[in-house]
Structure 1
């Protein structure tokens, strides 16, 4: 059975309090006569239990040393490091929000993109969001300044952009968790890991997972129970597959998108309560500043 930190902290302060009471009781106090017979609660040193008194004195000295040399400095350090870690997590959250919101704008017609008056990025992810994202065409040109390193000035599709950005989020979260794990709040750590291992990351990048298995359909109807990064199967643009967020015979792929959004928003809410940041960060960029294009990633009707 795992004992929580609260039990250890409670035991520490309880023993310290008892030790202080023992020292007071076995001290030379009171130096003046107390009324109402209160002096009977004090025992003069020559009548005291020397072993108990010495043990209490040793514990109090050790506790004071621990508080002054270890606990308080470590607490100050943890507060400073936590601010740095939280700021890095906020950065990941905002970038991840902008990515999925940009994909949404690219799949919306101008008449469908109605975000005036939105005060929170979460308002973008309504039921209409999931309905429209089913027609997202991952083979369309990505809304980005980037181009292929191997072929300068050659535009890239969402297949590559999504792989690049999701990999970046996972790697940044890895660095944050590895570097600051000791200083992060337990609940915050759980939410960061949940977002890192959401279904979209897991199946698109082929991340290891003990809870999710994937089956791919190959040519001639064969099924392959392999953990192959999905983006690798999309590289051949000539042989287009089912839209990434559409239903298939095996599953409804919108579940992966919902996993991404749900875990992202859970992490955002926790960080906002602790850190505070612009709730409408993506809304300002895509709605007020005019970033992003309309209808550039809509699936062509065949």
Structure 2
């Protein structure tokens, strides 16, 4: 008695020969398929073209050799079928569309003269966009084009990162603009979707490294531009070099004169040179919480 699988293989070879001899309707262009069927019914094929989808998990497909030689294959996705995108991200049967190209593993099911496959694994090579988290160093920035180029170990030294209007860029606790990113900035994490076919990463969230040393309290010195009150708490506007800072003095802050003796804010005059000790706020780099302020002009 002939092995059913051997008989099926013979019919498959004969069908392919007849199709090659008589011609067949043109099918969706794909690379030639590679097909393996073992005596125990194990099935493996590459470049399986989905022609039609029935429901959510039945795929009427073809394995092809050139434009005019093909064999019909029905691929059945079960609940336990492992379905992935081209580069390994998990997918579902709903993600598979007509004209997608599949790699299929499974077993032959019953069917007279028709290849029906109960699939154990399906890899959809047409699904080239996958969710990724990458990190790297900014190589260049183009705010006018809403993109930057990121050098990273995942996809190479020149990965284009595109930003949508909804993309969030975070640096420390601040949300910043693309124009605040500069060449050489480190990006510990960028979350989004990578398109392998275009080498383009569409970012939804970008985290830019924030140097925490700038928040360490230190001395500042500049010219007093304004003062909100003559008693604590009070707010001072001070020009330090080319930057203007809003300096917040809490109820317990120390107010001193140039001899480091206690003084009153009533003696502080716009234009005086003041020195203050405090830390820049992480939420706003132009704001400082000061513990001590001295007027060096009296």
Both proteins in one fold, TM over 0.5 = no
Higher helix proportion (structure 1 or 2):
1
Larger Rg: 2
